[in-house]
């Protein structure tokens, strides 16, 4: 079931990073606790998220984005929270009706891509149009 779709409003103006975001959205849409392969999908999401964060941070370094440190802090906090949920899932599992993971992922992802990532996109655009 598709919950969220990537839209142009989410574009950060860098094709590779937009593609990362599309893929992250696609991966979260495909995540269901009741699936036998949940843990593999969740692990894959965590790996992909970490590699995306690295790509994004490298881009921000390259363009000299002044908000990089706080952006990185947000990425780290997200990765920590997801790791903690993975640990909890491994230890106790989650009920099918438990929406915490999905709610957290969507709230964070939408807020991050639509607000925080748009800040560097706007900064970069303004710098190039000076
Ligand atoms: Fe980001």
Give the whole-angstrom CA distance, residue 58 versus residue 53: 8
| Ligand 1 mean position, distance from CA 110 (Å) | 11
| Ligand 1 mean position, distance from CA 95 (Å) | 30
Reference 25, options 118, 109, 121; nearest CA is 109
* Structural domain contains residue 4: no
| Ligand 1 mean position, distance from CA 29 (Å) | 19
The predicted structure's pLDDT at residue 38: 84
Range of the domain at 106: 10-126
| Ligand 1 mean position, distance from CA 34 (Å) | 29
* Structural domain contains residue 105: yes
| Ligand 1 mean position, distance from CA 13 (Å) | 13
Query: Do residues 125 and 80 make contact, with C-beta atoms less than 8 angstroms apart?
Result: no
* Structural domain contains residue 111: yes
The predicted structure's pLDDT at residue 130: 57
Q: Going residue by residue through the chain, which has 130 residues, state the pLDDT in tens, using 9 for 90 and above.
A: 667 899 999 999 999 999 999 999 999 888 887 777 888 888 898 899 999 999 999 999 999 999 999 999 999 999 898 888 888 888 888 777 778 888 888 888 888 998 999 999 999 999 877 5
Reference 21, options 98, 90, 120; nearest CA is 120
List the Cα angle 127/76/66 in 5-degree steps: 20
Reference 102, options 91, 92, 112, 94; nearest CA is 94
CATH number for the domain that contains residue 46: 1.20.120.50
| Ligand 1 mean position, distance from CA 116 (Å) | 7
Task: Report how many domains make up the chain.
Answer: 1
* Structural domain contains residue 1: no
| Ligand 1 mean position, distance from CA 127 (Å) | 19
């Amino acid at each position: 079931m598709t919950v969220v779709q990537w839209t142009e409003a989410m574009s950060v103006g860098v094709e590779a990073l937009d593609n990362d975001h599309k893929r992250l959205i696609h991966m979260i849409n495909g995540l269901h606790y009741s699936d036998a392969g949940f843990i593999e999908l969740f692990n894959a999401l965590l790996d992909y998220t970490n590699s995306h964060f690295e790509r994004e941070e490298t881009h921000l370094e390259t363009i000299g984005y002044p908000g990089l440190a706080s952006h990185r802090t947000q990425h780290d906090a997200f990765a920590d929270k997801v790791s903690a949920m993975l640990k909890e899932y491994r230890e106790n599992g989650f009920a099918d009706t438990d929406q915490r993971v999905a709610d957290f992922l969507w709230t964070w992802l939408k807020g991050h891509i639509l607000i925080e990532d748009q800040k560097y996109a706007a900064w970069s655009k303004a710098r190039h149009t000076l």
